[in-house]
Structure 1
Amino acid sequence: MERKNFLKSLFVGALSAPVVLAACSTDDADAVTPDTTGTTGTTGGTTSGNCSVAPTETEGPFPTKVPSSYVRSDITDGRTGHKLTARITILNSNNSCAALAGALVDIWHCDAAGNYSEYGGTGMQSTNYQAVHFLRGRQTTDANGLVTFTSIFPGWYSGRATHIHVHVYSANGTSLKVTQIAFPEGTGSAVAAVNGYTKGLSGYTINASDNVFSDGVSLELATVTGSTSAGFELSINLAVPA
């Protein structure tokens, strides 16, 4: 699928105020709202038992080609940018949101300039990075369902808000969920602080106008703290049916 098939037109304007919500948070019992209807919510997530399942999203045109080859926690691979430590906790929606140990979690995202490794030299991405594998990696969740990656704060490209792709597999390699992580926006947010690196934010597509996140990001919105000088910390809980 070509990038033009799912990217929307550019949105130029002020960033919207951030909405800080956790997906199935274990820190706040009120963050998990039981729903016995089993229907799909406005974010595309569904309910299973008493736990809201992370929405299924597109892998996009740049998924990792051989994810099992990149078992590593530091996925920076020489790319420059503000440090980002991403802590992703995987919960089992089929087991009352208990931590899911032994799951395989792949992540990938663009660099500061908005380019992906393993692709390029085409109309979708002019810069050719087919021979390199930066900002991609896989980890296995620990007993608390946690994986931690060291990376850089993602840049942005036309038609998309800042985001990270996530693919969760069971221990035997069965696909459980493909989703994406959204970032809070607006004054005081990390997105505003990074300011698109050298590109700025003119032409940036906010979450509300992004064709992946425009139906709501309550189950995909990470908590992001830190600064450009000290680095940023991202945390999110994602519930998947396992």
Structure 2
Amino acid sequence: MPTATLNGVSIAYDDIAPPGPAERTILLLHGFASNRKEGWQRTGWYQALGRRGFRVIAMDQRGHGESLRSHDPADYGRAHLAADALALLDHLGVKQPEVFGYSMGTRTAMQIAIDAPHRVNNLILGGVGGKLFDPPRATENSETIVTAMTAEDPASIKTEFLRSFRQFADEQGEDRQALAAFSQAFSTPLDRDALGRLDMPVLVVAGAGDDLAGDPAELARLFPYGKGKVLGGCDHFSAIPHGALKAAVLDFLDGVPDEDDFPPFE
């Protein structure tokens, strides 16, 4: 298991070369309660990207997988996560990768693009959409991701989407106290104006049944060179391993237009 001490903390990562010469490099940033193995390797992304000649770099973000598992909220926050990713790229000698974040990982990806826009070639944001800037979803019973992660009995969690994240965390063997601390960390809101000045191509993609994300096209319009894509037959969790997401991402990286890019026949 490769690890590096970055910004004073231990970060686990994979750095996988393709079968032939590496033409491009991609950085993968997983979602909440996931990790690099579950989010990217098990779901076929390492293989799919490797076949296309990508050097694949995937990291466990703080509080997840085999990286730092602190129970102190002060050790987390989006600024720390983005700084870790940039430090890892420096450690590995990577100057300008493609950056692909899913769900929580999109926030890290966007912060990287804000902090160091010259370091991002193409930006891919999966599992998000027009709801990105909405206030946190309120529940009827005042449950939060923190209460879900710290509940003694997961069956006591009444809110479906919170129960799904708790179940996912348990299945991956994640440190639930670390995830609770992660969720309590302070982060300033993403800077919409700064995002609107980004000059790299941006793909925003989410499943049609992803109630957490909203409309990808709505978020894509924020970026000067943004493109929104909806995946039929997918929700927030099922989109990650789905072939439709792989096709959308690879076509975007290859510069392949889809039917939405063409004017209708007259």
Structure with the bigger RCO (C-alpha within 8 Å, sep 6+) is 1
* Structure number with larger C-alpha Rg: 2
> Could you state the TM-score of these two structures normalised by the residue count of structure 2?
0.23
> Could you state the TM-score of these two structures normalised by the residue count of structure 1?
0.24
Structure richer in helix, relative to its length: 2
Structure richer in strand, relative to its length: 1
